[in-house]
Structures are given as structure tokens and as C-alpha cells.
Chain A
Amino acid sequence: MLSFIRKRSVASLISLVGLLVLVFFLSRLTGDPAALFLPVEASAEMKQQFRELHGLNDPLMVQFGRYVGDVVTGNLGESLRKARPALGVVTEAFVWTLWLAVITMSLVTAAAIVVGSLAAFRSGGFFDRLSSIISLVGASVPDFWLAIVAIVVFSVNLAWLPTSGTGSILHWILPIAVLFVRPFGIIVQVVRGSMIGALSSAYVKTARAKGVKAGPIIFIHALRNAMLPVITVIGDQAASLLNGAVVIETIFGFPGVGKLMIDSILQRDFNVVLAAILVTALAIFLMNLLIDLAYALLDPRIRH
């Protein structure tokens, strides 16, 4: 079990380093940060000064070496725009995103398991057909459209909820509701398929022969077995939320890491971009580890 986790960690760390290399060089090769950051009328001297201040005149390899050293010591440089440590800017935004992702995925997981399981229990029945339609629509509706419609209906017309920004619990409702829809649709379908298989399995037959009630048969006997493929999909969906729901955060003016990344890319604030990528990659790496752990917890055959 421990060696299993160690192996997975090493593999993920290698890809983490690869990602860092790739992103660093790409961000330096898409244009001169000095030219883009400073106003068009800035003089060559000012640009030169700017480059020297941020070490942009050194060869790329030197810059990269310095960068790796900084990463290891936790110094990800200053934000060029905000004149604050980049890591601080990113973690501040990332906490928002993390909360958004955790709350949304918790709700999605709980709801999808209940709906998918019940649909599977009476597959072909009314509830199953209803949930199939809902989940299909949920999985296919574009979220930006849904976000705009939600704002029009709930904020503009009904004036129940704020249109954007943060400040109160009410501000969270629309982003969470909109982000909920697609993963819910997808996960319900996976849960349903996986549960239909588990419910027709031999061990469920044994449980019925033992006289076990329907509730424990679904949620104890079948569900734990059916969760293995579901967890993979939950991980995928959670990863896309952790990356920052760029469009949704932008529409709702939500100060998460997705919005921060877009803003920083447009402003060539590459210290922040690199820090953001590093932080989200680390988060996704940790989440994959959690998923592997969840696998091992659910299935004793993986543990051995």
C-alpha cells in the first residue's frame, strides 16, 4: 500500500517537473515581456531598466535555473502588476477556487450517487427515464449560456441573487449552481451504469438470499463496488474545477484562480501565471493521490 503510494507520487512528481519546464519556456518565447508590459511609448532605456530589474537579459537557461531554485525555496517572484509576491496572489485566489470546487463537487457527488443509484435500482422505470433526460441535458448544456440565463432570471428579473462578485453566501449560489450542472449530468450516468452492473452481480444475489433489505443492498453491497469507475470520473471533473472554471469565474466576477490566470496571461504577468500553474498542478497531483487512496480504501484487492 505504502509502496503503491510512493510509486504514484514519484510518477506524478516527474510530470510536475515536466510541466514546469514546458510552461516556463513557452511563456518566455511568446514575446518580450518588457515590450508588452510597458506602455508603447516607453523608451528603450526604460525597457532595458525593466529587463535588468527582473533579470530578463540573462540567458533563458540562467533564468530557468534561478526560477527552479526559487521554486524549491518557495520564492515564486513578484507579481509584475501588483508588486506583491506572486505566490501570495495565487494562493489568495486559489483558496476561493478550492472552496468553490470542494463545495460544488461534494454536492455533485452526493446528489449524483443518490440519483444514479435509484435510477439503476429500477432501471427502465419512470425515475430512471426522468433522471436520464435530466442528466443528458445537464451534461450537454453549455455552462456560459446557463450562467447568463441564470443571471438574467435570478438576478435581473427576480432580483433574488446578486449578479456577480463576492461578499455574502448569496454570492456563492449562482456560481455553484451553474458549475454543478455538467459534472452532475456526467456522474449520474456513470453511477447509473456502474450500479446496474453491481446490482445484477452474484454477490447482490447472495445478499438478497440472506434477506438483506433493499437500502443496504443498494448503498452498502452494490455502491461500494460500483464506486470504483465513478471515482475516476469524479477526479476528472474535480480537476477541471480546480484548474479554475475560467468562463464561470469571469462571468460571475469570482476572484478565483481561473480568472487570475486569464488576467495574468493577458497582462504577461508571467510570475503569477507560473505560480498559478504550479499551485493548481500541485493541487491536482495531490487530488490524484487522494483518488488512488480512495481506490485502495474501497477495494481491498488493490491494497494487496
Chain B
Amino acid sequence: MAEHLLEVRNLSVEFHTAAGVVHAVRNISYHLDRGETLAILGESGSGKSVSSAAIMNLIDMPPGRISAGQILLDGKDLLTMPPQARREANGRRIAMIFQDPLSHLNPVYTVGWQIREAMTTHGMPAEQARSEALRLLTRVGIPDPKGAMGKYPHEFSGGQRQRVMIAMALALRPDLLIADEPTTALDVTVQAEVLALLKELQRETGMGVLIITHDLGVVADIADRVVVMEKGELVETGTVRDVYKNPTHPYTKKLIGAAPGKGEMHIAQISGEPLLSVRDIRKRYGSFDALKGVSFDLRAGETMAIVGESGSGKSTLARVLLRLDEPDAGTAHWKGRDLFTLSPSELYKLRRDLQMVFQDPTQSLNPRMTVFQLVSEAWAIHPDILPKRQWRERVAELLAQVGLSVEHMSRYPHQFSGGQRQRIAIARALALEPQLIVCDEAVSALDVSVQAQVIALLDKLRRDMGISFIFIAHDLPVVRDFADYVMVMQKGEVVELGTVREIFEAPREAYTKALLAASLDPDPDVQAEHRAARLKRA
């Protein structure tokens, strides 16, 4: 039997923490051949990154410990190799790229130096490494590669940084490339470009690619086979198409079922006066035009999704509407009164009508306050809403409404999962009985299955309480499931505004079409069609 390029056999890794032993992965096995792409699919806490860290010898021991198993690279066990041989395999035989290229590139050295180091550290002469680095930067599509050699990581965009990481990883033509969530932090169009680049480079070099992701769309786009992990165990494996079409394990079924973008689209009913009427908002930061005249209307109970890539101005718009930032020009009439001309005391009264849920609940919830304090703080600020003796009762009600329970009241944010924290943030927003909630990427950081639950919760609040939403997102499938109207923004301008059906089924503008085309579909067949269509256009 021919040996696989990589074979992980019965690997178990545990971490010894103060709270006890955590079994990060238990008895998992998989293999990967040259020229093949294997995806490890899992949500946070599934242990999907642990086996790759073990392959690269990146697990800190202690607290980590590989308690059992083998990792065979061309039939030789990496785990029993001497440290010297192990180190030499890194970079030369196996290379890795990571989720957040900004923090994974050393901020104080030029990218040229960092790419050269990948080669000189394995003995390549400096001159040769220099010309190789230049060739690599050119190959991964960095503009002005000569000049780029002398620049620092912070001088590049997110997509370019990931290209630099790829250039660095591929410097010595490794046999195996491990990509840990390589496109999660990138915009959809950039994600599509980076995935396409990885595929091209794989064709050129014949390397095996191990991609770790939480995104079914990424799996559908790039992988040949997939391994599904849950809580440290491997629950299902097979070709991408088989696993997607005929999942056998309940967890896989749940993951596929939770993937957004398949439900019925909302049908917007145009009726009634606008609750919020925004006209020609402009905002400038120095010489940068963040908003160049944005206008829209929103009626009670409606959801307006704002989609766009980084730098499109979507978050600035949210901040301006909530008066967290002052606009340079424009009006925003809330029930007939211009928000931007309100005095501080009028604004204070209005605050309770307009609430915001932020992207990262870990940062937006004060870690030293209990859930009860977090939710009831709103009433301490607005004492007319609720007398103090009813606070406990009402907090319990709100927690029930967002799917948490009474005993959670005395706990602190760190004792909850990401999805639960976002529910707390929503309960806090609801405490003021708002009429409009602005969600700034409120579900982006959540696992797919949790995301689906939070979206369902928001949808229920809209139906039951008639709350309007401004829903800022970069993830189009989520928008498709939740929005009534969609506003597409690019570089501070509204590119296209229409009902969710209009935007998703008959987009008019080229930019909207490009966004939709770049968005990944979890169905491998559909995604293959998308990719073919993209390539044809390009």
C-alpha cells in the first residue's frame, strides 16, 4: 500500500488546566495525499485546530500533552522524531498559514525580510533568498513587489497580508500546506480571490492542503474530502459532496441544516409612515470620505440590512445614527424629529428607543458585572421605566425571552459561551424596550448553529414586539434569511437599495453581482457552478 503524504493515527491530545484535564481531541484519524485538499470542519471548541498544531509542533507542552497516536509524514512519525529534524520539517516540508495575518506577521520586520527568513533559516544563501522572495511576492499578486519587499505588515490590506503569508509559506515548496481559517477575517470578494490563489498554487506545486474551517462554503469551494469534528471527536468523514448530500451523523446534519441562506425570503410589505428617515448623511475623517451621502427609510417592524466590505462605511453609518459619532451633514428623522439636532437631554430620552448590539459580546459586556447588573443597568440610567423592586422579575423575563434562565442572573460574562453572551447583549438592549435595534455584525463571530439560533431569536422579537432592525453584516446568506430590505454599500456610497428578493434574485449593479458571486454556497455543486461562472467572467 502506498504511503499517504500525511496520516494522523489515533491522535489524542489533552490539556492540563487548573480546572482539570481537557481532552482537546480524542482518538482521531485521517489522511491526506499529494494534490488533495482535506477540510477539517468544526465549530469553536471542536478541536479542529489541535491536530494541525500537533503536526506543526506548536502545542505548548505543558500544559498540552499528546497522550496517544502517531502523525506520519510520508510514513515517518513526526512525534518520535528528534527535535532538530522536527524543526527542519517545519517550513521545508510542512508550512502553515493562519486566520489573522496581521497578528501572525512580525510587526517590526519588513515582509521581504520575513519571507527571506523562511528560506535562509533552512540554509538558502541570502542572495538567492532575495530573488526568490521577489518572485514569490510577484506570484501571489502583490502590486509593486519590489517596493513591497521593504514595507511592513501594517502597510498592507488584509487580503494582501494573507497573500504575503502564502508567499512565505510556499517559499520552499512544501509538500503539505496547513491553512487554519485562512479567509475568515477577509471580505467575501477577497476570500474568493485568496481561495482561488490557493487552488492555483496547489495545481502548480502538487502539494496537499489541509484546510481548517467552520464555514461550509469554504469546504464546498476548495476541498475534496472533509472531516467533521465535534467536541474533540471525529464524527464523520467522506467526500465533500457525499457528506453534504447524505450526512449520516446528527451533528453534521445539524451543521448543514443551520447553514444560512436557504430559507424563504421575506416579502416586504410597504405600509405606514417611515419610523426613521435618513437623508444624505455625510461623514469625513480627515481626508477620508467615510459616508458620501446616504439616504433610506425604515418603517416599524422592518429590517434593513446594510451589506458591504470593510471600508464601505456601514459601521460608521450605525455609529452616526446612534449619535456615537457626529455626522458632517444630513438629517435622520425619527418619528418626525431630526436626531442630529436633538439636545443632550432630548437625546437621553430618545436613547431608550434606539439600541445597539455589537459584534463582539466578549468586549461589549463589562466582565466585572453580573448578568443581572448588566441588564438592569439600563433602568438605573432610565429610572422611570421600572421601579427597582420589579427589576429581578423583569430581568428573569428578559432572560427567558432570549432563551436563558433565571439562574444565569448572578453569573459573569466569562461563564457563558459566545452565543449565550450575545443573548445577554440582546437582553440588555431589550431592557429599554427599544423600537429600533442596530445590530453591527451581531452574529458574525458566532458559530453557524448558534448564529441560526440568534437569528431566529431576533426574528421572533421582530414578529412579537414589532421591533425594527438595522442589520449590518458582511455575510450575505444570513442577510438573505433575515432582511426585508437590503442596502449595498461601497466606499461610503449606496450602490443599490431594494427588497431582499430584488437584491438576491435580480441585482442590477455590477458590484452587487460581484458580491453575490463571491459569496460561498455550502452546496458543493452550486458552488462549483458559481466558481465556473466567476472564472468565465474573469
Contacts and interface: CB of A to CB of B under 8 A. Distances in A.
Contacts of B56: 208-209
Interface stretch (B85-93, B254-262, B309-317, B389-397): B85-93
A208 B56 CA distance: 8
A211 B122 contact: yes
Nearest to A205: B58
Nearest to B121: A212
Contacts of B19: none
Nearest to A199: B60
Contacts of A208: 56-58, 90
Contact of A300 (B104, B122, B152): B152
A202 B103 contact: yes
A211 B89 CA distance: 7
A216 interface: yes
Contact of A202 (B90, B98, B109): B98
A299 interface: yes
B100 interface: yes
A203 B106 CA distance: 5
Given A202-B100, A225-B106, A300-B107, A212 B58 contact: no
A232 to B, nearest CB: 16
A210 interface: yes
Given A209-B56, A209-B95, A224 B108 contact: yes
B433 interface: no
B117 A210 contact: yes
Given A216-B121, A299-B107, A300-B108, A209 B90 contact: yes
B88 A211 contact: yes
Interface string A221-235: 100110000000000
Contacts of A207: 106, 117
B154 interface: yes
Interface residues of A, number: 21
Nearest to A208: B58
A3 interface: no
A202 B53 CA distance: 13
A213 interface: yes
Contacts of B58: 205, 208-209
Contacts of B169: 209
Contacts of A304: 154-155
A202 B108 contact: no
B108 A298 contact: yes
Contact of A201 (B90, B103, B117, B155): B103
Among B57, B88, B104, residue most surrounded by chain A Cβ atoms (within 10 Å): B104
A301 interface: yes
Contact of B87 (A213, A225, A298): A213
A221 B95 contact: no
B107 A210 contact: no
B379 to A, nearest CB: 40
B108 A211 contact: no
Contacts, number: 73
Contact of A206 (B92, B105, B122, B152): B105
Given A202-B98, A209-B91, A209-B96, A225 B57 contact: no
B123 to A, nearest CB: 10
Contact of A225 (B89, B104, B108, B165): B108
Contacts of A298: 108
A200 to B, nearest CB: 8
A291 B128 CA distance: 36
Contact of B98 (A206, A211, A213, A221): A206
**Which of A206, A210, A298, A299: most chain B CB closer than 10 A?**
A210
Contacts of B165: 206
A210 B121 contact: yes
Given A205-B58, A206-B98, A211 B106 contact: no
Nearest to B95: A209
A209 B89 CA distance: 9
Main secondary structure of the interface of A (DSSP, over half): helix
B118 interface: yes
B219 interface: no
A211 B103 contact: no
Contacts of B57: 208
Interface string A260-302: 0000000000000000000000000000000000000011110
Contacts of B152: 300-301
Contact of A211 (B91, B100, B105, B109): B91
B520 interface: no
Contacts of A301: 107, 152, 154
A225 B107 contact: yes
B106 A221 contact: yes
A300 B152 CA distance: 7
Contacts of A201: 103
A2 to B, nearest CB: 19
Contacts of A209: 56, 58, 90-91, 95-96, 169
A224 B152 CA distance: 14
A208 B91 CA distance: 9
B472 interface: no
B117 A212 contact: yes
Contacts of A202: 98, 100, 103-104
Interface in A81-97: none
Contacts of B89: 211
Contacts of A213: 87, 121
Contacts of A210: 90-91, 95, 117-118, 121, 168
Interface string A159-202: 00000000000000000000000000000000000000000011
B73 to A, nearest CB: 14
A125 to B, nearest CB: 11
B107 A203 contact: yes
Interface string A57-86: 000000000000000000000000000000
A60 B118 CA distance: 68
Nearest to A227: B108
Contacts of B109: 224
B90 A299 contact: no
A300 B154 CA distance: 9
Interface string B125-166: 000000000000000000000000000101100000000010
A211 B104 contact: no
Nearest to B99: A202
Q: Which of B95, B96, B108 has the most CB of A within 10 A?
A: B108
A71 B19 CA distance: 66
Nearest to A198: B106
B107 A211 contact: no
A212 B122 CA distance: 8
B154 A211 contact: no
A206 B106 contact: yes
Contacts of B118: 210-211
B178 to A, nearest CB: 8
Interface of A: 201-203, 205-213, 216, 221, 224-225, 298-301, 304
6 contacts: A205-B98, A208-B56, A208-B58, A209-B169, A216-B121, A304-B154
Interface of B: 56-58, 87-92, 95-96, 98, 100, 103-109, 117-118, 121-122, 152, 154-155, 165, 168-169
Sorted nearest first, the 5 A-B pairs with minimum C-beta distance are: A211-B91, A211-B90, A202-B103, A203-B106, A210-B91
